[in-house]
Structure 1
């Protein structure tokens, strides 16, 4: 079965051997959240998609690549759970692609 993104809290994932919580206060959390000021010169608040895009961009950077490699190893083949509603863009989608894409293209984050 293909790994999936699930909605829930760390308590929901705690009893599963095939699911990892990646939401707030986890080692895999997105440091960028909707509503925070974005990196643009105007500093407008980010929406969910912009926060996810910024997370992916950081993982492609020189320092982020080390985290990306570790995340890919740690999360390979597992379901990922976050508090984001399933219909909203979430960094867990980036982590799923990263962890379940062949190693040669990990840093390209296929869409």
Structure 2
């Protein structure tokens, strides 16, 4: 089963062709970061869990579903590396589930509701 690893893009490239860097400046990066203002009227800084939740919610949207399908195909069966510490929530966890858990992509789609 693929796993999440911590490191930089050069680490992923050196480790294995079965490892993909999904961190900052990659095409799989989370556009929401801990410390950024939350998209709410108060706009308090988000923690890592809130940034990951917002990433997951984005993948459920009409445009996000398109990216979710592409990400699932591209990352299936691969280890994912990000710069996040392993003991905090990371969007790579969402990507791992999306790409490798049977039915997870369907769950993402069904959470959007009927069209």
Q: 1:86 aligned to 2:113?
A: no
Match of 2:54 in 1: 54
Distance 2:49 2:34 in 1: 8
Q: CA RMSD in A?
A: 1.0
Q: Does the residue aligned with 1:14 lie in a helix, a strand or coil?
A: helix
- After superposition, residues 1-111 of structure 1 pair within 5 angstroms as 2-15=1-14, 16-102=16-102, 104-108=103-107
CA distance in 2 between partners of 1:105 and 1:79 (Å): 17
Q: CA deviation at 1:40?
A: 1.4
| 3-state DSSP of counterpart to 2:62 | coil
Q: Tell me the SS of whatever aligns to 2:71.
A: helix
In structure 2, the CA distance between the partners of 1:107 and 1:24, relative to structure 1 (3 Å rule), is: farther
Runs of 4+ displaced beyond 3 Å? none
Query: 1:41 Cα deviation (Å)?
Result: 1.2
TM-score, normalisation: structure 2? 0.90
Shift of 1:107: 4.3
Give the Cα separation in 1 of the matches to 2:55 and 2:104. Answer: 17
- Tell me, yes or no, if the aligned pair for 1:65 and 1:107 is still in contact at 8 Å: no
